[in-house]
Structure 1
Amino acid sequence: MKRTIMESLRNWKDNENKKPLIVKGVRQCGKTFILKEFGKEYYNDMVYINFEENESLKSIFEIDFNTTRILFELGLFVGKTIKPNNTLIVFDEVQECGRAITSLKYFCENAPSYHIVCAGSLLSIALNKPLSFPVGKVEFLTMYPMNFTEFLHANCQDMLADYTSSFLKNDKVPEDVGVKTEVEMKNNIQRVDKKRSEYYEHYTDQEWIDMSNYNQCIDISKVGVKGAVELI
């Protein structure tokens, strides 16, 4: 799946003065997926650490912030050697381990050749703890939900995506560009919803249509966009 954030991730990788990166974004916008794809495509190896799924990993950061020891013990956990410049280290759900966030300061200062990217759906909770946050020692990147151009790419409409993305913000797109019949549009919506459902259920082991799996459900057809904003 083509996401525009990938270019920003590549630029971060190529920056010789890079710092550990924190990717922020709302839930289910694809942070985990894109970071794994980034690791597969641009690195020789990747180490994926999920602090929510593996709470025992938190103990690695409890002893001290010796980066050599931390890297060695993480390598023992995943069963491979973590190599500088060639291995992408992904800390997912990092808000679950405040000391892992603090450790980024020491990776920045003492082990800059190790590429570390962090993500977490509730990261703002951890960021509100100034005593533990490595101010000035990390970089930030915000990931947003899929935009229109990305949506077209995901639906294999690359030519149309490239064409529409060439327009300036206030340009008017010709009315006959990409026109579909009502039946085609309905089929397209059903196909996309099916893909989203399969993706969600595969990575969460939960049902897409089960409202109990969400923090808040809003019927925009009843309250409208503005009403939804006020409720949120």
Structure 2
Amino acid sequence: MLFRKIEHLIEDHIRSGSSKILLIDGARQVGKTYIIRHVGQRLFHNFIEVNMVEDSLGERLFANTRTVEDFYLQISMLAGNKMKAKEDTLIFIDEIQAYPHLLTLLKFLVSDDKYTYIASGSLLGITLAQTTSIPMGSIRKVRMFPLDFEEFLYANGMNDMVISMLQSKFQKLESLDEEKHNKVMGLFRKYLLTGGLPDAVNAFLDSHNIQRVREIQNEIHDYYAADASKYDDERKLKIRRIYDLIPSNMENKKKRIFAQDIEGKRGKTFDNYQDEFEYLVSAGIAMNVQAISNPVFPLAESEGKNLLKMYLNDVGILSSILYGNNARAILDDVRSINLGSVYETVVAAELLAHGHKLFYYDNRSKGEVDYLIDDFDSLSAIPIEVKSGKDYSIHSALNNFVANADYHIKKAYVLSNNRKITCKGKIIYLPIYFIMFFQNFVKDNRNLII
């Protein structure tokens, strides 16, 4: 099975005896159900799984369940023989967003303390916002993402010793030798093709058939585009339009979403589409990057609301849309192909999965810098520029940014295909694959206590 880092988090939470229920949020098809089932069946003799979407489409046993006693009764109808002692019974509530009232009920299940629970779902940000009684102090909400590049390396045979070696090289700013660089870079290019959706990764590992991988990615992409079941038809169309615009926007120089392009109507602003953007981000199928014109720590205090970039949640889906079955466009690093949007998508996904909020620098006169992240050690911003071509050392906007004394920049990164790690002033040039170690240990937005 695929190695997922979140497995350790799930197991540690369960073994800790925490009174909080672990709630795994994330886009569909990222592997939430599989990894929870894997851990639950391994740790508990009595594992009970209930899918609330399936129930809502079928018997609707839990549609009107508002009390602990009623919940136990419905569970007993499905698996009464497995309702044993707390330490040996795990009840997994899957797709809990289908019944928002069950989120409120979690608080009372915690107080009753009769069984061990874990829950998962998608759109939980929106569902919690619309829940009349948020179970404060009863939930530990964690977001799950597609496989990141480090997990992809494990899937392709890398072990802890190799990953530790790579991390040590990153921390010491030491370049890999040519052979190791080519190996890791080759796997990185394959990751651009497969992305991190488990079904696509497994298809790649099993068959190495790009057509099979693309079929899975296209199917999931279509599913994401069509799935906005909580909205009426008019809003669904707007969501679909914004989602469909993302890949084409990636090919534009600015890469920004323009509100008037969504429906082709002049005068429209981002305020007209707040719910649609919120859906795409909360569903986990798109990543939003907010503009910053005054990059002062902490960046969240300066974010702009009307200049927005959006990226697809999975780089494999994007490369499928852009290049179809032509794997050579990426694997051979064809000079005529601009991989900028693909590289930027990988970096966005890695930063987000590693606990960073996504920002970029926008200044009409001084240009743009691809990403900004908070540096909690120096209490300043770190600019990151992503380069997919040979001209990785050309970046006038980044030079101006770093040279601005008002910004108090301590260091900046340029990520590219180049093997050698070099430092020129405050700018550090790194191979693109080292983005997998840009972990935010201070503020990890995958781990929220509410």
1:93 corresponds to which letter in structure 2?
E
In the alignment, which residue of structure 2 is the partner of 1:75? Answer: 76
In the alignment, which residue of structure 2 is the partner of 1:32? Answer: 33
1:208 and 2:189 equivalent? no
1:86 corresponds to which letter in structure 2?
D
CA distance in 1, matches of 2:44, 2:201: 27
In the alignment, which residue of structure 2 is the partner of 1:147? Answer: 148
After alignment, is 27-36 or 210-219 more displaced?
210-219
Give the length in aligned residue pairs.
Answer: 225
In the alignment, which residue of structure 2 is the partner of 1:179? Answer: 182
Report the secondary structure of 1:28's partner residue: coil
After alignment, is 38-47 or 164-173 more displaced?
164-173
Q: Does the 8 Å CA contact 1:39/1:88 hold for their aligned counterparts?
A: yes
CA distance in 2, matches of 1:131, 1:183: 50
In the alignment, which residue of structure 2 is the partner of 1:66? Answer: 68
In the alignment, which residue of structure 1 is the partner of 2:247? Answer: 219
In the alignment, which residue of structure 1 is the partner of 2:267? Answer: none
Distance of aligned partners of 1:98 and 1:195 in 2 relative to their CA distance in 1, 3 Å threshold: closer
Q: Does the 8 Å CA contact 2:148/2:196 hold for their aligned counterparts?
A: no
Q: Does the 8 Å CA contact 2:96/2:121 hold for their aligned counterparts?
A: yes
1:16 corresponds to which letter in structure 2?
G
What is the CA RMSD across the aligned residues, in angstroms?
Answer: 3.5
Query: How do residues 1-232 of structure 1 correspond to structure 2 at under 5 angstroms?
Result: 1-55=2-56, 56=58, 58-60=60-62, 62-67=64-69, 69-78=70-79, 80-83=81-84, 84-110=86-112, 112-158=113-159, 159-166=161-168, 171-176=173-178, 177=180, 179-180=182-183, 196-197=199-200, 208-210=217-219, 211-215=221-225, 216-217=243-244, 218-219=246-247, 222-223=251-252, 226-227=255-256, 229=289, 230-231=309-310
Q: Does the 8 Å CA contact 2:100/2:131 hold for their aligned counterparts?
A: no
Report the secondary structure of 1:32's partner residue: helix
CA distance in 1, matches of 2:224, 2:81: 36
CA distance in 2, matches of 1:25, 1:185: 24
CA distance in 2, matches of 1:85, 1:222: 53
Tell me by how many angstroms 1:85 deviates.
1.8
Distance of aligned partners of 1:61 and 1:132 in 2 relative to their CA distance in 1, 3 Å threshold: farther
Report the secondary structure of 1:127's partner residue: helix
Distance of aligned partners of 1:86 and 1:190 in 2 relative to their CA distance in 1, 3 Å threshold: same
Superposed CA offset, 1:105-125 (max 9, x none): 111111x24111111111112
Report the secondary structure of 2:146's partner residue: coil
Identity over the aligned pairs, expressed in percent? 22
Q: Larger RCO: Structure 1 or Structure 2 (Cα < 8 Å, ≥ 6 residues apart)?
A: 1
Tell me by how many angstroms 1:219 deviates.
2.9
Report the secondary structure of 1:101's partner residue: helix
Q: Does the 8 Å CA contact 1:50/1:91 hold for their aligned counterparts?
A: yes
Distance of aligned partners of 1:129 and 1:41 in 2 relative to their CA distance in 1, 3 Å threshold: same
Superposed CA offset, 1:122-161 (max 9, x none): 1112110252321122222222332222111111222433
CA distance in 1, matches of 2:251, 2:136: 43
1:74 corresponds to which letter in structure 2?
I
Computing the radius of gyration from Cα coordinates, the structure with the larger value is 2
Q: Does the 8 Å CA contact 1:93/1:121 hold for their aligned counterparts?
A: yes
Report the secondary structure of 1:35's partner residue: helix
TM-score of the aligned structures, taking structure 1 as reference length: 0.77
Q: Unpaired runs of 5+ in structure 2?
A: 204-214, 226-242, 258-288, 290-308, 312-450
Distance of aligned partners of 1:188 and 1:21 in 2 relative to their CA distance in 1, 3 Å threshold: closer
Structure with bigger strand share is 2
CA distance in 2, matches of 1:182, 1:164: 12
Q: Does the 8 Å CA contact 1:12/1:18 hold for their aligned counterparts?
A: no
Tell me by how many angstroms 1:197 deviates.
3.6
